[in-house]
Amino acid sequence: MESTFKEIRDGQSVLDLDPKSTVGGGVEDVYGEDRATEDKLVTPWTFSVASGYSLLRDPQYNKGLAFTEKERDAHYLRGLLPPIILSQQLQEKKLMQNIRQYQVPLQKYMSLMDLQERNERLFYKLLIDNVEELLPVVYTPTVGEACQKYGSIFKRPQGLYISLKEKGKILEVLKNWPERTIQAIVVTDGERILGLGDLGCQGMGIPVGKLSLYTALGGVRPSACLPITIDVGTNNEQLLKDEFYIGLRQRRATGKEYYELLHEFMSAVKQNYGEKVLIQFEDFANHNAFELLAEYRTTHLVFNDDIQGTAAVVLAGVVAALKLVGGALAEQKFLFLGAGEAGTGIAELIALEISKQTKAPLEETRKKIWLVDSKGLIVSSRKDSLQNFKKPWAHEHEPVKDLLDAVKAIKPTVLIGSSGVGKTFTKEVVEALASCNDKPIIMALSNPTSQSECTAEEAYTWSKGRAIFASGSPFDPVEYDGKTYVAGQSNNAYIFPGFGLGLIISGAIRVHDEMLLAASEALASQVTKENFDNGLIYPRFSTIRKISAHIAANVAAKAYELGVATRLPRPKDLVKYAESCMYTPVYRNYR
Ligand SMILES: NC(=O)C1=CN([C@@H]2O[C@H](COP(=O)(O)OP(=O)(O)OC[C@H]3O[C@@H](n4cnc5c(N)ncnc54)[C@H](OP(=O)(O)O)[C@@H]3O)[C@@H](O)[C@H]2O)C=CC1
Ligand SMILES: CC(=O)C(=O)O
Ligand SMILES: [Mg+2]
């Protein structure tokens, strides 16, 4: 034994130490790690095949108390687990009971994150089977609070952090990730996290949350999903002063420094994972988001969820709403509060769809759509000072300072909130809209709930129960005048999981706007009579996997039609094929 000590602790005399001492934490510290001083190097090492204790600590394979007798024998688990065996169903029941006991949403979030890190299949089983209940926990609104407090609740790192420190080494950093086959990346730089602003490196909660939906809602394997946060600093003074902040403590890099890092990242991703890896940009600020999308949409498989995914989901909601309201899409007049990524992205897709339906040129169909930003209605006299993405919306009109006056002047049939500012659809605004529409369509898209332009209760009450309402974050059903109103959730979570699946199963190498229209059409077609009878303009999230399969099939069909699909031959029944590709979280049997 002494000679082993000697060999392993190269150079250090250990004969004067007591090898049986447990002071350092071990029984016999044969590898010398416990006694290593700060200046002494040790080797981190692990088994490559998980068995025994390491199997219980591996979230991808761990089944906890569900390991069978045979598996406990075959994988050295005897004694490491209490004798009882629980089915996955019973584990699920127990965990749901535990989660329901927490009163504070953030506690539910943390408990679910712990589960994800402990037992991945059980996490996804819970999420899939209880999607309507758990979506608000792993996603908006709770994920927003989690990002705000990410530094304090941080336990084990999730996803990949690429900061300015890794400049010149991004390819190496990607190679540190344990999985080789990656199909979907969600990346943020944390500058516009929901409607909460710049949360820097703590934005990581968003890619993690979005990718868990890729798996739960869209069936993309968890091992093929990679959450990434690019840390170029933050301009959030509070975070810069926060001793628990996990990111670079500097102001944001901009201009050349920013774009060089992003370019290195985009090139490294393609080099490491190939042409068919989907890169979803999420929650970048608009001064970078539009440029990044324009720069990489012709060379990479990229998709901006805030600009494009949101557009597809809102178009689907409006098309569905017209079944309740009557009239054609081209007959509607749209007014947006907020002319950023979501606002102008939605506006452009609606204009494109109207142009397709009516054969009118885009320049004409855009005229049905008006946007208000922080300076008022976007009109032609402001054109010179507008950012590029707003210019197509600068129509002829006298200046209008605020939303209420804009509603009175434009008389829209559809009012969409994409401002990130809560309480901006005031009583006066909703009443003005309701005064010129029998059934005004109101979408308060901003997240999380605190930033919603109005609540469901406000929309129904102020419109005297006439509004067709949907919001970005969920609201409970509302009682008004003896009737129950159920608000729909207009959130890109309906689109991106199925959209991504469609790209993956067809081996698409580029995203085209036609594919967004295809996704939107598939979603609108999934709204049932029962949904409409309840005043809903979206299907229930409880059927999301079926919806995602239809979206995936429509997107894949379009990819084949456009010649950007590489998976050949084309499967005959794309819905069935999409379903057959979906990850299911039931436990596997181990040999
Ligand atoms: N439901 C969903 O699926 C989605 C919801 N969202 C939500 O939409 C919101 C906006 O996101 P995004 O478009 O990316 O953000 P951007 O920052 O790109 O755009 C925000 C826009 O709102 C305008 N604005 C800000 N304050 C006011 C105000 N007080 N009055 C009028 N206009 C104002 C800004 O004006 P200016 O340009 O003058 O600064 C800007 O045009 C966020 O809360 C986000 O969570 C986003 C994507 C999807
Ligand atoms: C839903 C979403 O993507 C957002 O609020 O940014
Ligand atoms: Mg987003």
What's the pLDDT band for 4 if we cut at 50, 70, 90? very low
Q: Which of 21-25, 174-178, 424-428, 514-518 is predicted with the least confidence, judged by mean pLDDT?
A: 21-25
What's the pLDDT band for 241 if we cut at 50, 70, 90? very high
The alpha helices in 495-543, defined as continuous H runs, are 496-506, 513-525, 529-533
Q: Is the CB of residue 337 less than 8 Å from the CB of residue 424? A: yes
What is the spatial distance between Cα 487 and Cα 59, in angstroms, rounded to a whole number?
36
What's the pLDDT band for 46 if we cut at 50, 70, 90? low
Catalytic residue among 61, 124, 139, 296: 139
Give me the residue label for tokens 């309507």: 132
Check residue 309 and report its DSSP letter: I
**How far, in Å, from the CA of 519 to the mean position of ligand 2?**
18
What Å distances lie between residue 289 and 189, 283, 580, CA to CA?
10, 8, 34
CB 286 near ligand 1, within 6 Å: yes
- Phi-psi group of 423: left, alpha or beta (phi > 0 → left; psi -120 to 50 → alpha; rest → beta): left
> pLDDT tens digits, residue range 243-262?
999 999 999 999 999 999 99
- Residue-range domains of the chain with CATH: 52-119 (1.20.1370.30), 141-300 (3.40.50.10380), 308-492 (3.40.50.720)
Residue 421 pLDDT > 70 = yes
306 Cα nearest atom in ligand 1? 47
The alpha helices in 374-469, defined as continuous H runs, are 403-410, 427-435, 456-462
Strands (E), 249-313: 278-281, 301-304
Complex prediction ipTM: 0.99
What is the spatial distance between Cα 217 and Cα 540, in angstroms, rounded to a whole number?
12
> Within its chain, how far is the Cα of 582 from the centroid?
18
How high is the pLDDT of residue 156?
A: 84
**Residue 161 tokens, joined:** 């952090």
Say if residue 513 carries a ligand binding annotation.
no
Which H/E stretch holds residue 483?
strand 483-485
Q: Do the strands 369-373 and 376-377 form a parallel or antiparallel pair, or are they unpaired?
A: antiparallel
Say if residue 591 carries a ligand binding annotation.
no
Ligand in nearest proximity to the CA of 401: 1
CB 283 near ligand 2, within 6 Å: yes
Catalytic residue among 125, 210, 368, 390: 210
Q: Is 53 helix (H, G, I), strand (E, B) or coil?
A: helix
Q: Integer distance in angstroms from the first to the last C-alpha of the chain?
A: 35
How high is the pLDDT of residue 296?
A: 98
Closest CA to 400 of 479, 335, 474: 335
